[in-house]
Amino acid sequence: MTEEKKHTRTEEFKLSGGEILDKVKELLHEGNIRRIILKDEKGKTFLEIPLTAGIVVAAFAPIAAAVGAIAALVTKMTIVVEKTDK
């Protein structure tokens, strides 16, 4: 049995307003995302979303609602994305 090594890398996106929800939706559809973290300008974490392949579709509406509510409160955010590469 061969074990594949998976490497995790992170990307950061600095966005504002309506761009935040659009970017999170885009990221959820990519499929290789392990976690999405939303932070304010000072680096305070507002929301951490751990993701697995099956949960994304089932939990999309609550995730979108939470991200939309946070985006309405904070003008600028950083989205930190953990991706898994094979």
pLDDT in tens, 53-66: 556 556 677 777 88
Alpha carbons 72 and 76: distance in angstroms, whole number:
10
Indicate whether 1 belongs to any domain: no
Q: Please give the residue range of the domain that contains residue 48.
A: 7-85
Confidence (pLDDT) at 15: 92
pLDDT in the model for residue 71: 78
Count of structural domains within the chain:
1
pLDDT at 73: 76
pLDDT for res 4: 52
Q: Which residues pair with 44 in a beta bridge?
A: none
Residue 2 maps to a domain: no
Whether 37 is covered by a domain: the verdict is yes
Q: Provide the Cα torsion 9, 60, 78, 7; round to 10°.
A: 0
Low-confidence residues of the chain: pLDDT under 70: 1-6, 53-59, 86
Report yes or no on 29 lying in a domain.
yes
What is residue 69's predicted lDDT score, i.e. its pLDDT? 83
The answer to the question of residue 36 being in a domain is yes
